[in-house]
Amino acid sequence: MSKSERPQDMSRRQFLTTVGKVGGSLAVFSLMGTMGLLSPETMKAQSYTPPGQNDLSLTGRKGKKIIILGAGIAGLTAAYELEKAGYDCTVLEAKPFAGGRNFTVRRGTSLAEIGSKAQFAQFDPDSYLNAGPMRIPQFHSTLEYCREFNIPIEPFNNVNESGYYYNENVGSLSGQRIPKRAAKADVRGYVSEMLAKAVNQSALDLPLTSEEKQKLVDYLKREGDLNADLFYRGSSRGGYKEAPGGHLDAGVVRDPFDLKAIINSGFGNYFGNEYGYDQQMMMFHPVGGMDKIVQGFEKRLGNRVKLSAEVTEIRQSADGVRIRYKQKNKELELTGDYCICTIPLSVLRKIPADFSSKMASAIATTKYASAGKIGLQFKRRFWEEDEHLYGGSSLTNMDITQIYYPPTDYMSKKGVLLGYYVTGTNADKLGSMSYHEREKHALAQGAKIHPQYIKEFESSYSIDWKRVPFQEGAWATYSTEERAGIYKTLCEPDDRIYLAGDHISHIVAWQAGAIDSARSVVGHIHQRVMQA
Amino acid sequence: MSKSERPQDMSRRQFLTTVGKVGGSLAVFSLMGTMGLLSPETMKAQSYTPPGQNDLSLTGRKGKKIIILGAGIAGLTAAYELEKAGYDCTVLEAKPFAGGRNFTVRRGTSLAEIGSKAQFAQFDPDSYLNAGPMRIPQFHSTLEYCREFNIPIEPFNNVNESGYYYNENVGSLSGQRIPKRAAKADVRGYVSEMLAKAVNQSALDLPLTSEEKQKLVDYLKREGDLNADLFYRGSSRGGYKEAPGGHLDAGVVRDPFDLKAIINSGFGNYFGNEYGYDQQMMMFHPVGGMDKIVQGFEKRLGNRVKLSAEVTEIRQSADGVRIRYKQKNKELELTGDYCICTIPLSVLRKIPADFSSKMASAIATTKYASAGKIGLQFKRRFWEEDEHLYGGSSLTNMDITQIYYPPTDYMSKKGVLLGYYVTGTNADKLGSMSYHEREKHALAQGAKIHPQYIKEFESSYSIDWKRVPFQEGAWATYSTEERAGIYKTLCEPDDRIYLAGDHISHIVAWQAGAIDSARSVVGHIHQRVMQA
């Protein structure tokens, strides 16, 4: 692989994928097994003859039983990769369906949140809500399984300049929905103007030659669409009062907001949302729902995945693991050589288990974040029909935080819009409401941005992840100190039990975190088996 | 329509669309007919009872014959809308196929550029190159026909942070492909740092309260991802040397380029490409090729469109128009009441016609731009497989200017990549080469960004719009003076002959310009017929 062919941010994961292409999945496993021991440099040096590959054989693995707890993306990945490598896996899933937080709500989906009655989704056929993960960055390992399972993907519109900002109590722009393009043009314009004028002031004392300063000013003129005198006087980038058209319809550019108004609006603080490494376009999602990925794994794992199987005890001894679980009111038991536990720590901490005291306390003290979503089905796609808005989001400082327009089935009659995606205190506030109260709140606040809400609304389905049985949280959160402390403990095998999941990764809250941690655990177990 | 329901940049076109929803297409026509006479305000005031709507009847139109020259998007739109309103239309198209610059190149497509032999496309089935328009902004009227004709659309990836910048002779970053996210993070970081430090310097003398200055600094910290001391020290937004993954794989953020290197690279000057009103995400295109729109019109117009019918004379008298044309070596003639001429002025100026001398000289002096594209089919999608790059573009200061990765059929085996999209002198340089020389040049320069080019290349198809028969140019260009002079003449009917096309609009080079000008001409003719 020549330097220029190698992606600039070559990661261990991407590296292993490449090795996989070359040496086959076993090469990956054995390499993964040694990930902890080898520095990336050594690994790259040995990339084409991964250690242990030559002495790999199925004999070592024959009959080795791995019990996997949880059929979320981590559990499914571990089972799928281990089976490929010749291991014998059983996956126990407490819920009646697999996928964990990869949860696509469709007509007929029903789930009772803790302390509430069941909620039934009444969306039209072909409409859905991805209640958990809804988008995939191009570089996440998640896409590798879309490819492997031939799951068609389509763009997820994470950026749409036609979306709106709507803030309350921010001065003169309060309570107005402002197209993102307008706020961006004005902020970039004024900011570029300020710096362009400052560049040549000695006070700034920039370490630049006058030629470089001129290049900087030229850039700022373009960046802010400034006039020859370096003033921002509005820009077509921000949109038109009268759009250009045929004949003499030249178009009339909107008037810019004044500097104070736009600074006080706080809109500028939303721009960064689109800059994050894992939020930048292009993003993608499977056509037809995120759970196509779950179905891809299930199809290949068949009856190795046991649903409605709630783990009640996790035991281990010198020579194996013993898992007790309930299924259809039956008390059952399973024994194996190793256990991969992907159960959320918020749930795991309540299950009797033979963990070291150090591991037990790490599991007990890990904090979990709140998150909630609501899907709103409307009679017609007024955002497309009335507002020429196809996918993307609107952001607000109201409780609902953000609205996402369906990034699929454009121009179809109806649509399920993401009425809110909330975290933290907003999630706790909305989560504490009844399903009906959540719906009312989402409609009341959303209607301030889209008055059509009132007339066009049909049905909703909401979720509060802290109240979902066997999840009891959105994702783990670690402070820098916790990453250096309890997190390290969680990453170590507890004798024959390995933890996996996005909480055992540095890509928390993403499917790729679950996948990468599962692959790494698979590698560790395989290495251990090979060396035994 | 309440204020809040009305798009901020409500244009006459969008307004007419709305009226159309309310009063039906006839309302649109009669309104359009008066567009020139009414101010937008009056129009809006009368939006629900458009003048002339009540006295509309088919009788006035019975037997009225309109001859339309050119079956590009303007000609097809005019014919389709006139037929809907009860007029009798014939469209004469010189080429053996309709669509004009809406030209999708597929396996079997062949076209001989002026002075060259025919070129045959050898792309795989299902692969295509949109040699003309390839993307549609959300607010363009073009999407209204996608909706009306039930043409599925999908996003056109106009923004992809995983694409590259590659410049030569720009200092220390010359000849390196740099991911867009890296250049953007560094430029935004340094620029925000400079201004954040300047804000509180009295020298800058900003008209802001200290509270507003603090808000500005807070914004700049977010915008540039600055540290607490307002320094830019790199950002994960720019990507990683080692991407984060499972377990202890925390990831290592790339090192930023130094300020001088990034300023001299000129990369910052590319950012603006994504800010343009008609270039901002989201953009869309029809699934399967832009010519799905042409096929939508053709299906509805049937044999009213005569192909391989080359206009040789355009005549008019007090009571009608007379068009002579060649078809299969036959000299034919057609008479009608009015003529809508969408023939590119670069071609029209050579056809004997009864234009006023003022119109004739306006037609003769309008300038046309150059543009060219090349489609490159590769054996595999190495940009996706090797580089996690799904759609979007890479930009360079080499002749090829830009590369676009196919925004469709992700993860399929092969792909047709847009190897260059050039205008101006680059278009003239590449256009003057043979098909084979263009291919060699595109491959040689593209391989500097993607070394895989060499091994994976299969076949190409290139186009130079100045050399396409019956086009002879990419699009009309007008200076401010020309907009105030010859353009006004072109917009006026020349007795019974009306010009239409994107060159008769303020959306030159876009299909929406052709559509809007055609709709407006249809409105004018209808108004004239109604008043006769």
Whether residue A113 is predicted with pLDDT greater than 80 in this model: the reply is: yes
Q: Evaluate if pTM is beyond 0.95.
A: no
Q: Give the residue from chain B lying closest to A143, CA to CA.
A: B388
Q: Give the residue from chain B lying closest to A490, CA to CA.
A: B247
pLDDT bucket at A531, cuts 50 / 70 / 90: confident
Rg, Å, chain A Cα set: 26
Q: Do B195 and A198 touch (CB under 8 A)?
A: yes
Q: State the average pLDDT for chain B.
A: 90
Q: Do A281 and B392 touch (CB under 8 A)?
A: yes
pLDDT in tens, B252-267: 999 999 999 999 999 9
Lowest mean pLDDT among A24-28, A300-304, A474-478, A528-532: A24-28
Q: Give the residue from chain B lying closest to A505, CA to CA.
A: B246
CA distances from A75 to A81, A253, A320, A360, B517 (A): 10, 54, 19, 20, 59
Residue A129 to chain B, least CA–CA distance (Å): 19
DSSP B52-101: TSTT--SGGGTT-EEEEE--BHHHHHHHHHHHHTT-EEEEE-SSSSSBTT
Question: Would you say the C-alpha torsion B423, B425, B426, B432 has a positive or negative sign?
Answer: positive
Give all strands (DSSP E) within B244-308, no chain letters.
252-253, 283-286, 305-306
The beta-carbon neighbor of B194 closest among A204, A264, A269 is A204
List of chain A residues whose C-beta atoms are within 8 Å of the C-beta of residue B188: 275
List of chain B residues whose C-beta atoms are within 8 Å of the C-beta of residue A179: 8-9
- pLDDT value of position B532: 78
List of chain A residues whose C-beta atoms are within 8 Å of the C-beta of residue B14: 243, 388
List of chain B residues whose C-beta atoms are within 8 Å of the C-beta of residue A507: 244-246
Residue A327 to chain B, least CA–CA distance (Å): 31
Residue A432 to chain B, least CA–CA distance (Å): 31
pLDDT bucket at A164, cuts 50 / 70 / 90: very high
Residue B327 to chain A, least CA–CA distance (Å): 31
- DSSP 8-state code for residue B274: G
Q: State the average pLDDT for chain A.
A: 90
Q: Give the residue from chain A lying closest to B242, CA to CA.
A: A11
Rounded to an integer, the average pLDDT of A417-426 is: 98
pLDDT in tens, A233-259: 999 999 999 999 999 999 999 999 999
pLDDT in tens, B332-378: 999 999 999 999 999 999 999 999 999 999 999 999 999 999 999 99
Q: Do A251 and B391 touch (CB under 8 A)?
A: no
Share of chain A above pLDDT 70, in %: 88
The beta-carbon neighbor of B160 closest among A12, A281, A388 is A281
Selection from B72, B250, B10 nearest residue A505 by Cα: B250
- pLDDT value of position B146: 98
The beta-carbon neighbor of B410 closest among A153, A241, A281 is A153
Alpha-carbon distance of B232 to B224, in angstroms, equals 7
Selection from B458, B503, B464, B460 nearest residue B482 by Cα: B503
List of chain A residues whose C-beta atoms are within 8 Å of the C-beta of residue B178: 8
Chain A interface, best mutation among B19, B263, B389, B397, by max A CB count within 10 A: B263
Q: Which two tokens stand for residue A329?
A: 């009111």
Rounded to an integer, the average pLDDT of A79-104 is: 97
Residue A70 to chain B, least CA–CA distance (Å): 18
Q: Do A243 and B9 touch (CB under 8 A)?
A: yes
- pLDDT value of position A62: 64
List of chain A residues whose C-beta atoms are within 8 Å of the C-beta of residue B522: none
pLDDT bucket at A200, cuts 50 / 70 / 90: confident
Q: Do A187 and B269 touch (CB under 8 A)?
A: no
Q: Do A208 and B259 touch (CB under 8 A)?
A: yes
Q: Do B282 and A206 touch (CB under 8 A)?
A: no
- pLDDT value of position B191: 97
What are the residues facing B89 on neighbouring strands? B66
Whether residue B208 is predicted with pLDDT greater than 70 in this model: the reply is: yes
List of chain A residues whose C-beta atoms are within 8 Å of the C-beta of residue B204: 194, 197-198, 201, 203
Chain A interface, best mutation among B29, B35, B43, B138, by max A CB count within 10 A: B138
Residue A8 to chain B, least CA–CA distance (Å): 7
Class of domain A178-265: mainly alpha
Q: Does domain B3-98+302-366+476-531 have CATH number 3.50.50.60?
A: yes
Residue B43 to chain A, least CA–CA distance (Å): 13
The beta-carbon neighbor of A181 closest among B2, B198, B280 is B280
The beta-carbon neighbor of A254 closest among B9, B12, B212 is B9
- pLDDT value of position B204: 79
Beta-carbon neighbour count of residue B398 at 10 Å? Answer: 18
CA distances from A163 to A210, A491, B2, B494 (A): 40, 41, 19, 43
Q: Which two tokens stand for residue A43?
A: 């690994």
Selection from A376, A416, A147 nearest residue A284 by Cα: A147
Q: Where does chain B hold its CATH 3.50.50.60 domain(s)?
A: 3-98+302-366+476-531
CB B140 within 8 A of CB B512: yes
Q: Which ipTM score applies to this complex?
A: 0.91
Q: Give the residue from chain B lying closest to A153, CA to CA.
A: B410
The amino acid that residue A516 corresponds to is D
List of chain A residues whose C-beta atoms are within 8 Å of the C-beta of residue B505: 244-247, 249
The beta-carbon neighbor of B245 closest among A11, A138, A159 is A11
Class of domain B104-162+280-290+370-467: alpha beta
List of chain A residues whose C-beta atoms are within 8 Å of the C-beta of residue B240: 9, 11, 277
The beta-carbon neighbor of B146 closest among A35, A271, A411 is A411
Alpha-carbon distance of B269 to B279, in angstroms, equals 15
- pLDDT value of position B62: 64
Whether residue B20 is predicted with pLDDT greater than 80 in this model: the reply is: no
Alpha-carbon distance of B12 to A422, in angstroms, equals 38
List of chain B residues whose C-beta atoms are within 8 Å of the C-beta of residue A184: 275
List of chain B residues whose C-beta atoms are within 8 Å of the C-beta of residue A277: 181, 236-240
Lowest mean pLDDT among A178-187, B6-15, B49-58, B215-224: B49-58
pLDDT bucket at A33, cuts 50 / 70 / 90: very low
Question: Would you say the C-alpha torsion A239, A240, A241, A242 has a positive or negative sign?
Answer: negative
pLDDT in tens, B306-333: 999 999 999 999 999 999 999 999 999 9
What strands lie across the sheet with A283-286, from one edge to the other? A136-137, A283-286, A153-156
**Per-residue three-class SS string for B436-495:** HHHHHHHHHHHCCCCCHHHHHEEEEEEEEHHHCCCCCCCCEECCHHHHHCHHHHHHCCEC
pLDDT in tens, B22-68: 333 444 444 443 333 333 333 333 332 233 333 344 445 667 999 99
Q: Do B203 and A206 touch (CB under 8 A)?
A: no
List of chain B residues whose C-beta atoms are within 8 Å of the C-beta of residue A8: 178-179, 182, 239, 241, 254
Q: Do A392 and B282 touch (CB under 8 A)?
A: yes
- pLDDT value of position A284: 98
The beta-carbon neighbor of A269 closest among B10, B222, B281 is B222
Q: Give the residue from chain A lying closest to B157, CA to CA.
A: A282
Whether residue B379 is predicted with pLDDT greater than 70 in this model: the reply is: yes
The beta-carbon neighbor of A147 closest among B281, B386, B411 is B411
pLDDT in tens, B414-424: 999 999 999 99
Alpha-carbon distance of B158 to B284, in angstroms, equals 9
- pLDDT value of position A262: 97
List of chain B residues whose C-beta atoms are within 8 Å of the C-beta of residue A263: 208, 212, 215-216, 219
Beta-carbon neighbour count of residue A41 at 10 Å? Answer: 8
Q: Give the residue from chain A lying closest to B250, CA to CA.
A: A506
- pLDDT value of position B481: 98
pLDDT in tens, B441-498: 999 999 999 999 999 999 999 999 999 999 999 999 999 999 999 999 999 999 999 9
Q: Where does chain A hold its CATH 3.90.660.10 domain(s)?
A: 104-162+280-290+370-467
pLDDT bucket at B531, cuts 50 / 70 / 90: confident
Q: Do B143 and A388 touch (CB under 8 A)?
A: yes
- State the count of interchain CB pairs (< 8 A) between A and B: 361
Whether residue A524 is predicted with pLDDT greater than 50 in this model: the reply is: yes
